[in-house]
Amino acid sequence: MIAREFNFDGLIGPTHNYAGLSYGNVASASYQDLPSSPKAAALQGLAKMKYVFDLGVGQCVLPPLRRPRFEFLQSLGFSGSDKQLIDKAYAYSPVLLASCYSASNMWTANAATVSPSADCADEFLHITPANLSCALHRSIEHPSTTRNLRAIFSDRDSFKVHAPLPSQAGLADEGAANHTRLAPKHSLSGLELFTFGSDSQDQKSPKPSKFPARQTLLASSAIARRHGISKDRVCLLQQNPLAIDAGVFHNDVISVGNENVFLCHEMAFLDQAKRLADLKQRYDLAFDSPLFIVQFSNAELELADAVSSYLFNSQLVTRPDGKMTLICPLECQENPQARACTERLVAEENPIDQVVFLDLRQSMNNGGGPACLRLRVVMTEQQQARMHPGVVFSESLYEKLVAWVEANYRNQLVPNDLRDPNLVVESLNAIESLARILDLPVEVLMDA
C-alpha cells in the first residue's frame, strides 16, 4: 500500500516565552528571562512548514494548547479571579505561573510516538501521546494533546490513539523525540528504534549523573508492545549518559533517521560501535538493501557544538523525486564544524543531495530545532482521507494562519508579562478563532 509521510508541525502559541523551565536543556537555561517574540516565533514556524510543503513533502499542523492552564494552579490549591490566581501563584513561585503559560507544546516531536500501520500487527496506525512526566511544565500537556489527537485521528477503523502511559517517573516518556523509523521506503514496514536514557527498573544500570534521563526503557518497551510491533522490528538503544549530561536531553538532539539514512554523533549511544553494527545487520536481514549510517566524530563536531548547533535536530525529509533534503537551523551555517559536516554529507555517497538553513531562532532559544517542531505520521491514502482535513497544510491555510498570527500575537513578551491579565483574554481569543480556521470544535481546542 502506498503511504506518505506527513509532518505535523506545532503552531507556536501566543504565550511563547523564555522562563528557563527545562532543567538539562542548555538553551532554555541560557535564555531565561530574556524577551521572546511570540509573533516572530509563530511566523518562523509557519515559514518552515511552507518550505517543507513547497518541497512536495506532506505537511499538516497541530494547534497550540490553550494557555494559560489555570486548572493546574487550581489543582494546587490556588483560587480566585484570573488576576488573583496570577498574583497568588506568582507570589508563591514564578515557575508555577510560567508553567501554566508555557507554549512548550509547540515541540510536537514530544506530543506522541507514532507507529504506521505497516509496522503494527493489527494494521491500525497507533499513536501514544507522551506523558512528559519528567518536567512540571510539560507534564500538564498530555490530557489536551490526547484530546486534540483524538479529534484529528477520530476514525476508529483506522487509528488507535492510546491513553498516555501512567504519569510516573519510572514510565517517563517524551514521545517521538526518542523514536526513529528506518525502512527503504516510508510505505514499507520498518525497523523502529526506541532510545531511552535510563532503565528505571535497574538502579545499577548506567544513567546520567547531572541531568535527568527523560525517557525510560520501561516506557519505550511498553509503547512498542502496545503498538503491536513485531519483536524482530524493535531496536532498543540506550543514550550515552555523557551526552545527556552535556545537554542532549532528547535523542533527536544527537541523531536523526529517515528511510535508509541514519545520522548520528559518535557519542550518541552506549556501546555504540556494537549497537550500530547490530542495527546494520538487522536492517540488511530485513530489507536486503543498504542502510547509510553516517557518524560524525567528536573531532569533527565536538559534543558541545552538536548541542549548540543542533545539527542532528535537522529535519531530514524525502522529496517526491526520492532524494533527501536536510533542513538545518541557521545555527549550523554559523558553526564552522557543523557546516563542514553538512558539506561532507552532500559530498558523500548517500541519498541527501540538498542542505538548507532556516531561521528558527525563537524556538532554538528554548532548545527546540526543526525536528522538535514536527511529529512524523506515515499514512496510507485511505488514512489520509479519514483524518481531519482542516489541519492539512495548503497555500490558503498558510495565508490564513499568517494573518491570524499577525492579528493575535504580541511582538514581545518577557516572563513578567505573564502577570498581565490581558494576555489571558488575548490568548483565549486567538485559540477560539483558530478553531474556526482549522474547522475543529471550539470546545476541543479550548478544552473546557
Catalytic choice (134, 328, 332, 372): 372
Closer residue to ligand SUG (CB): 216 or 383: 216
List C-alpha distances in Å: 48 to 87, 269, 373, 413.
Answer: 37, 29, 9, 22
Binding of residue 107 to ligand SUG (CB under 6 A): yes
User: Closest separation between CB of residue 253 and ligand SUG, Å?
Assistant: 6
Amino acid 343 reads E
| Cα(401)–Cα(45) distance, integer angstroms | 11
Contact code string over 177-206 relative to ligand SUG, x by CB under 6 A: x-----------------------------
Among 104, 215, 315, 335, binds ligand SUG (CB under 6 A): 104
User: Closest separation between CB of residue 373 and ligand SUG, Å?
Assistant: 8
Which residues contact residue 211 at a Cβ distance below 8 angstroms, ignoring those fewer than 6 apart? Answer: 23, 24, 244, 245, 247, 249
Catalytic choice (179, 250, 328, 332): 250
User: Closest separation between CB of residue 442 and ligand SUG, Å?
Assistant: 27
DSSP SS3 for 155: coil
Closer residue to ligand SUG (CB): 109 or 291: 109
Window of 58-66, 111-119, 248-256, 397-405 that interacts with ligand SUG by CB under 6 A = 248-256
Binding of residue 254 to ligand SUG (CB under 6 A): no
Binding of residue 28 to ligand SUG (CB under 6 A): yes
User: Closest separation between CB of residue 42 and ligand SUG, Å?
Assistant: 16
Closer residue to ligand SUG (CB): 19 or 316: 19
Binding of residue 253 to ligand SUG (CB under 6 A): yes
Q: Which three cell numbers stand for residue 160?
A: 488507535
Closer residue to ligand SUG (CB): 190 or 415: 415
| Cα(40)–Cα(373) distance, integer angstroms | 15
| Cα(317)–Cα(269) distance, integer angstroms | 23
How many residues touch ligand SUG under the rule CB under 6 A: the total is: 22
- Going edge to edge, which strands form the sheet with 191-196? 179-182, 191-196, 234-238
Binding of residue 138 to ligand SUG (CB under 6 A): yes
> Of 332, 300, 305, whose CA–CA distance to 316 is shortest?
332
Binding of residue 144 to ligand SUG (CB under 6 A): no
Crossing angle of helices 94-101 and 82-92, rounded to 10°: 130
Closer residue to ligand SUG (CB): 178 or 383: 178
Contact code string over 36-65 relative to ligand SUG, x by CB under 6 A: ------------------------------
Which residues contact residue 281 at a Cβ distance below 8 angstroms, ignoring those fewer than 6 apart? Answer: none
Beta strands 315-318 and 324-329, pairing class: antiparallel
Taking the C-alpha atoms of 336, 339, 343 and 348 in order, what is their torsion angle to the nearest 10 degrees?
100
End-to-end CA gap in the chain = 39
| Cα(67)–Cα(83) distance, integer angstroms | 15
Binding of residue 128 to ligand SUG (CB under 6 A): no
Interactions with ligand SUG, residue window 350-409 (CB under 6 A): 366-368, 372
Closer residue to ligand SUG (CB): 269 or 283: 269
Catalytic choice (60, 126, 134, 174): 174
DSSP SS3 for 173: coil
Whether 174 is a known active-site residue: answer yes
Active-site residue set: 174, 250, 372
Give me the residues that bind ligand SUG (CB under 6 A), please.
18-22, 25, 28, 102, 104, 107, 109-110, 138, 177, 249-250, 252-253, 366-368, 372
